[in-house]
A and B are shown apart, each in its own frame.
Chain A
C-alpha cells in the first residue's frame, strides 16, 4: 500500500511541553494511519496525550509546547514544519477540527451566517455571496438543524448546547474537508443529543468519504462509531487495531483493565475491575513502559521501553507481556 492511499499518516510524532516544572512529554512517539472514509477512535484518559495529538496534527500547539520530531503526512505532504501560510490554507479547508466546547469555534458576537460565509470565503474568495449562503444552508441541513434559513440569521447564544455543536460541525464541513479531527465533541452533551450527533457523524463519513479522528475517553462511543481504535497511555499508543478485534480481544494489560472498568450489562452487582493507582504525571514518566507501576504483569524487562510489536495480525502494541491467550477473561 502506498502512502497516497492513506489520507493521514503519522510517524513517530513527538510533542513536548517545556515548562518551568520540567519537560512534559505529552506525545512521545505516536504512529498511526487513517484511510479514506475511515473513522479512527483515539481513546485515552486525562493526561494520555490524545488531545495534544489532535492539536499537533492540525498545527495548533502553542508554546511552551512544540512538535519536536516526527512526521504528519497528509496525502504524502509533511505538515510538521510547514510554513504558517500553507498550514492556514489547509486548516478549515482540507483538515478541520471540532472542539469539546462549541464556543471555541463560534464567535459569540457574530451571526451564524457571517461566520460560515467567512469560513468559505477565507479559502475561496471567488465564491459569490448567494452561492456561499446556499452552501451554508446545505451544511446546516446536513447536520440535522431544522429551519436553516432562520437559524442562519441567529447568534450562537440563541442556540442550545447540542445545536451549537451541530453548527460547529457544519462549519467544519463547509469546505468538504478530507479529514475531520473531533476532540471530545459529545462529552458535554446529553445522551439523546449525543445519540443524534453520533448518528449524523456516522452517516456523514459513509456518504462523503471524509476521514475522521474521534478523540474521546468513552470507549462505548468509539465502539459504535469507529472502524479502528488507538488506545493511548502516558503519551504513547499502547494498542491499536481494528475496533472489534481490540474490544473483543484486547492484548495490552491497560486496554484490558480499561474495558474491565466499564460497567455494563454483565457487570451488575459485581465488583468492577479496577486498575490500581493513578496515571503518571507527564512530567515524571517512569523509565521504560509508562504503565508498569500499575501493571499486574510488570517485571524488570519493562524498564526498557517496549518497541512497537505486532503479536497478532492487524494489531500493534507496545508491551513486554501482552495477553496472547484468547481464552482469558477480561474481568478480574
Chain B
C-alpha cells in the first residue's frame, strides 16, 4: 500500500458551492426562502422609495397653500381636483389630497423612526459593548440602569419627556432615543458576552492581537445578527410610538404632519361617514409596520446562530 500524501483532494462537499459564497450571499439565499417575507421586503422597499421621493411623485404638495383649496375639503376618493387630476384617496378637512399627504406623512414617520433608531443603536451598542468588555461593577451599574429604564412604559416616559421638552422634530427624536437605547444596550451586551467565550476570540488572544482589534474586528461583527433583528423591530416600534404621540397631540407640530397626526385629524369625521380621512393613513401605517415586522421576523430566523452550522 503506497504512502498516502497529506494533500487532500478537493473534498466532495465543497463542490456544490463551486464559487465563493460570502456570508451575505448565503444570508440572501436563506432569506428569500420565505415568500411572504420576500414580499414584505419588496413592499418595504417600495415604501422607503415613496418616502424618499415623495415630493417628486406626489400629485400635489399638500403644504403648498396655492394648490390647496378649502372648497375641495372632505371630498370622497375618486373625485376631481379643479385642475383636472383625481384625488385617488379623497381629501381631508383642509382640502389636501390624501394620497399626497400620506406620501409626505410616510416620509416624516419613517424618517423620525429610522433616525431615532440609528442614534439609539449607536449609543446603546456602545454602552452594551462597554458593559460586556469591562464586566464587574461597570456592567452591574449599566445593567441596573437599563433595567430601570425598561421597566417604565414607553409611552409614559415619552409623554413626560415631551411635556418637558416641548414640540418639534428634534425633541421627538430625543425622546424616542431615550426610550429605545436600553433595548440595544441589552442585546449587544448579551451578544458580546456570548462571543467573548467563543474559541475564535480565545484564538485571537493567543495570537497576541491587540485588544481593540479583537473587540471591533472579531467580536463586534459577530454581534451584528441579533442587533440587526432588534434594530428592525425597534424601528417599527418607534414609528408606532411616534404615531401614537402625534395622535395624542403631543408629537410633531402641525406643520410637519406624520401619519399619526393625519389619523388624528380625520378622527372627528369618522362617524359622519367620511371615514377615508383617517382610514387610509391608518392603512398606510399598518402596512408599513406589518412589513417591517415580517422582515424582522424572517431576519431573526435566518440569522439565528443555532440554525447555522
User: Interface of A with B (CB < 8 Å)?
Assistant: 20-21, 271, 273-274, 276-281, 283-284, 293, 296, 332
Contact = CB atoms under 8 A, between A and B. Distances in A.
B3 A332 contact: yes
8 contacts: A273-B4, A274-B4, A276-B8, A278-B11, A278-B13, A280-B12, A280-B13, A281-B16
B16 A284 contact: yes
B33 interface: yes
Contacts of B16: 21, 281, 283-284
Given A276-B9, A277-B11, A332-B1, 7 more contacts: A21-B16, A273-B1, A278-B8, A278-B13, A283-B16, A284-B15, A293-B12
Nearest to A296: B1
A284 B12 contact: yes
Tell me if B's interface is mostly helix, strand, loop or mixed. loop
Interface in B131-175: none
Nearest to A278: B11
A274 B7 CA distance: 12
A332 B8 contact: no
Interface string B1-36: 101110011011101100000000000000001000
Interface residues of B, number: 12
A29 to B, nearest CB: 21
Nearest to B15: A284
A293 B10 CA distance: 12
A277 B9 contact: yes
B3 A20 contact: no
9 closest residue pairs by CB, A with B: A332-B1, A281-B13, A278-B11, A280-B12, A274-B4, A277-B9, A276-B4, A281-B12, A278-B12
Nearest to A20: B33
Nearest to B4: A274
A279 B8 CA distance: 12
A293 B13 CA distance: 13
Contacts of A274: 4
A283 B4 CA distance: 27
A87 B33 CA distance: 34
B3 to A, nearest CB: 7
Contacts of A332: 1, 3-4
A293 B8 CA distance: 12
B281 to A, nearest CB: 40
A228 B296 CA distance: 53
A250 B5 CA distance: 24
B74 to A, nearest CB: 53
B26 to A, nearest CB: 13
Nearest to A286: B12
A177 to B, nearest CB: 33
A62 to B, nearest CB: 16
A273 B2 CA distance: 10
A296 B15 CA distance: 22
Nearest to A328: B1
A131 to B, nearest CB: 42
Contacts of B15: 284
Nearest to A331: B1
Nearest to A277: B9
A276 B13 CA distance: 14
Nearest to A282: B13
A279 B12 contact: yes
B32 to A, nearest CB: 12
Contacts of B9: 276-277
B271 to A, nearest CB: 52
A281 B16 CA distance: 10
Contacts of A273: 1, 4
A296 B4 CA distance: 11
B101 to A, nearest CB: 44
Contacts of A296: 1
Nearest to B12: A280
B112 to A, nearest CB: 40
A276 B4 CA distance: 7
A283 B17 CA distance: 13
B8 A277 contact: yes
Contacts of B8: 276-278
Contacts of B5: 276
A278 B9 CA distance: 9
Contacts of B13: 278, 280-281, 284
Contacts of B33: 20
B118 to A, nearest CB: 35
B4 to A, nearest CB: 5
Contacts of B3: 271, 332
A277 B14 CA distance: 12
A22 B36 CA distance: 23
Nearest to A294: B9
A293 B11 CA distance: 11
Contacts of A280: 12-13
B14 to A, nearest CB: 9
A70 B1 CA distance: 39
A273 B4 CA distance: 8
B7 to A, nearest CB: 9
Nearest to A260: B1
A20 B3 CA distance: 40
Contacts of B1: 273, 296, 332
A20 B34 CA distance: 13
A278 B8 CA distance: 9
A274 B6 CA distance: 9
A331 B42 CA distance: 61
Contacts of A20: 33
